[in-house]
């Protein structure tokens, strides 16, 4: 009973201390957030145009990358469909050839049966 009580108390203490430790891992406790340095002035931000151009270039690059990926995907899908159609055509040709061979063998067998019947009738 004492062991369970002690382990429960240790678990609660660790559970209470863990969030504090997790917060202190990457950032200082009193670090300002990104908006705390915002200052309203009448003058224009000198780096705004550069940031805008950078964002525009990044968005264009992301768009081109996305378009390239879409084009590549479409190309792969088209190629896969073409391969599937070719396989279906090959299978259909093989099936037709097998059917033609079966019909030819049936005709030959029927012709041989007819010739045997004629021989039997002639004898």
Q: pLDDT digits over 31-83, tens only?
A: 556 555 556 676 777 788 889 999 999 999 999 999 999 999 999 999 999 99
Position 115 scores a pLDDT of 84
Query: Rounded distance, CA 64 to CA 62, Å?
Result: 5
For residue 43, being part of any structural domain is answered with no
For residue 34, being part of any structural domain is answered with no
b/e map 22-61, b = 16+ CB within 10 Å? eeeeeeeeeeeeeeeeeeeeeeeeeeeeeeeeeeeeeeee
Position 119 scores a pLDDT of 78
Query: Rounded distance, CA 70 to CA 64, Å?
Result: 10
- Please check whether residue 23 is in contact with residue 29, taking contact to mean a CB–CB distance below 8 angstroms: yes
Position 14 scores a pLDDT of 67
Residue found by looking up tokens 């705004």 in the block: 48
What contacts 23, CB < 8 A, 6 or more positions away?
29
- Report the number of distinct structural domains present in the chain: 1
The pLDDT of 2-27, averaged and rounded, is 65
For residue 20, being part of any structural domain is answered with no
87: containing domain: 56-123
């Amino acid at each position: 009973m004492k062991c369970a009580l002690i382990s429960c108390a240790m678990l609660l203490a660790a559970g209470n201390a863990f969030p504090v430790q997790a917060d202190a891992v990457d950032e200082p406790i009193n670090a300002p957030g990104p908006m705390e340095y915002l200052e309203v002035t009448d003058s224009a931000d000198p780096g705004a145009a550069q940031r805008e151009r950078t964002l525009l270039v990044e968005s264009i690059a992301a768009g081109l990358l996305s378009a390239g990926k879409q084009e590549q995907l479409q190309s792969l899908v088209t190629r896969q469909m073409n391969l599937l159609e070719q396989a279906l055509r090959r299978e259909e040709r093989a099936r037709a050839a097998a059917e033609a061979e079966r019909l030819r063998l049936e005709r030959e067998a029927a012709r041989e049966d007819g010739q045997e019947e004629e021989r039997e009738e002639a004898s």
